[in-house]
Each structure stands twice: as structure tokens, then as C-alpha cells.
Amino acid sequence: MKKLLVAAAAVAGSVVLAAGAAGCNNSDKIYVDTNAYFAPFEYYDKDMNIVGVDVDIMELVGKKLGKEVVFKNTDFDVITDNVQSGKKYDCGAAGMTITDERKEKVNFSNPYFTSVQYVIFQTGAMTADGNSTDGKETDYILWSSLAGKKIGVQRDTTGDIYAGDEISSETGALYGTEAAVTQYDNAQLAVDAIGAKQVEVVIVDKLPAEYIVANNSGYQCYALYYDAETATEEQYAICVTKGNNELLDAINEVLAELGTEGINELVSKHLGLGK
């Protein structure tokens, strides 16, 4: 009897090992899904390595767990599903905003960065509607000023979602004019589409907008506001396959150790690098 039990345990053990080898949770690597066109959070350096704030965070997590960190580039719109399945990826680090819909599929770390939506356009094509009265004193463009504009967004990102929310479900119109929203695979492609005259403006998160404007000549960007005191607001977090609490806990520990100051230092480091 005793022998049988040991045998059963050994079989169970080998099953667990096999599952570990097939999946990624128990391996000595952490597989991270990202979209590497979202500087300063993730971008390709001149040697075509994926670098950025999210990469630095995950490297610290790797160190804590004694695992190698492997970043892979995919389109943003598949990251949540990839992480939900957990087959190829343990987590997604992609300047990803916490949303209720995404929360149904993945677990999120604690938030590590707050962002707002920005609009990019060719220099001089739009003028600011005012200076905000929410204490940030930032020049802004009103969402309603996008009426009649051909808009580019990154597919399934919050820019896409916010723009979609502004489209009337009854008439399909955006501020009384026919909505013209085109989805692109990433922010750089969307901005290239301005140059190609396919769209006039691109809606994207603040720092990637500022980074793109700094690195592509002939563009400007402003914050998007609903009125002088109301902007969009969203929080970035790293998403992890549900059930992988070891990884989630390690990420949260690293984020707590970094704190706001540590994250801001990483942001400055990567904004300063350029391409």
C-alpha cells in the first residue's frame, strides 16, 4: 500500500512537472507581452532591444524571483487575451490602463502611473481651446473640437475606447458630424497616417504623445479635456495571468520599493534617451 501511494505521488509529481514545462508559470523565465511602440514605457533601442520603464520594472521583478525576463512584441489588442490564456505569457507590461473589462480576464498589479489622453496633429492644424482650471494649468483641446476631424487611434486602447464613448449610439455621429475613427496597430503607425493624410489627429496617452512629437518633426500635441476642469484619467498597471500570485506579489513589491519617485526617475531616463 505504501509503495502504491509513493508511486501515485511520483506520477502526480511528474504530471505537475510536465505541466510546468508546457506552460510558463514554473519555468526559470518570465515571459512578458508588450507592444514596443509606446515610449517611454516600451520601445526599441538602436540595437533593436526592447527597453523602457516597463522593462526596467520587470527586470527588477526578475531579479527578485531569480528568473530571466523575456519581453516579446505583439499588437496591443491581443495582450490581454494572451495573458488570460497564460500559454505563452505570464504577464503583460505595456503601459496598460486598468479597466473593468480587462479585469475580467487578467489580474492587475497595483497602479504605478497616472495618465490622460492627448491629441497629436500637424503643427498649426489646431489651436488650444484654453488653459485648464483643474490646477494643472495645461493647454487643452476640447473633445468637441474633434468634430469633423478624421481621427486615428490605436486599436482597443483607451484612446479608442474614449473616442468610441463619444460617438452617439443613436446616430453614430461624433459631436453632430459623421464619426471617422480609424484604428491602427500602434501609435507610431497612427501618426504616420497623419503624414500620409489618412487621418488629421491621433488620440493617444500623454507621454507617448509627447515622445512622438519630440521625435517626429512637424507635430504638436495637447491634452484632451471635456471642459476646462475635466480631463480623462487612467492608471497603468501590469497584468498577470489569474492565479499566478507569486508573480503578482513580486511585481507589487517592486512597485512599492520604487514608489512614485522611482517610477518618475525611470520615466525621465527613458524620455531623455530619444531614438
Binding mask 195-214 for ligand GLN (x = CB under 6 A): ----------x---------
Please report whether residue 96 would count as binding ligand GLN according to CB under 6 A: yes
Please report whether residue 107 would count as binding ligand GLN according to CB under 6 A: no
Q: How far is the CB of 109 from ligand GLN (least distance, A)?
A: 14
Q: How far is the CB of 172 from ligand GLN (least distance, A)?
A: 23
Among 31, 38, 211, 222, binds ligand GLN (CB under 6 A): 38
Nearer to ligand GLN, 97 or 244 (CB): 97
Q: How far is the CB of 66 from ligand GLN (least distance, A)?
A: 28
Please report whether residue 244 would count as binding ligand GLN according to CB under 6 A: no
Among 84, 97, 145, 244, binds ligand GLN (CB under 6 A): 97
Residue entry with cell 505583439: 74
Nearer to ligand GLN, 129 or 157 (CB): 157
Please report whether residue 154 would count as binding ligand GLN according to CB under 6 A: yes
**CA 101 to CA 140: how far, in whole Å?**
28
Nearer to ligand GLN, 35 or 109 (CB): 35
Please report whether residue 241 would count as binding ligand GLN according to CB under 6 A: no
Q: Give the interface size with ligand GLN as a residue count (CB under 6 A).
A: 11
Nearer to ligand GLN, 129 or 188 (CB): 188
Nearer to ligand GLN, 184 or 225 (CB): 184
Among 31, 43, 76, 108, binds ligand GLN (CB under 6 A): 76
Q: How far is the CB of 9 from ligand GLN (least distance, A)?
A: 44
Task: Tell me the three-class secondary structure of the chain, residue by residue.
Answer: CHHHHHHHHHHHHHHHHHHHHHCCCCCCEEEEEECCEECCCEEECCCCCEECHHHHHHHHHHHHHCCEEEEEECCHHHHHHHHHHCCCCCEECCCCECCHHHHCCCEECCCCEEECEEEEEECCCCCCCEECCCCCCCEEEEHHHHCCCEEEEECCCHHHHHHHHHECCCCCEECCEECEEEEECCHHHHHHHHHCCCCCEEEEEHHHHHHHHHHCCCEEEEEEEEECCEECCEEECCEECCCCHHHHHHHHHHHHHHHHHHHHHHHHHHHHHCC
Q: Count Cβ atoms below 10 Å from residue 111 Cβ, excluding itself.
A: 14
b/e string for 165-181 if b means 16 or more Cβ within 10 A? ebeeeeeeebbeeebeb
Nearer to ligand GLN, 129 or 223 (CB): 223
Among 31, 32, 35, 74, binds ligand GLN (CB under 6 A): 35
Q: How far is the CB of 79 from ligand GLN (least distance, A)?
A: 8
**CA 141 to CA 127: how far, in whole Å?**
7
Question: Interface residues with ligand GLN (CB under 6 A)?
Answer: 35, 38, 76, 94-97, 154, 157-158, 205
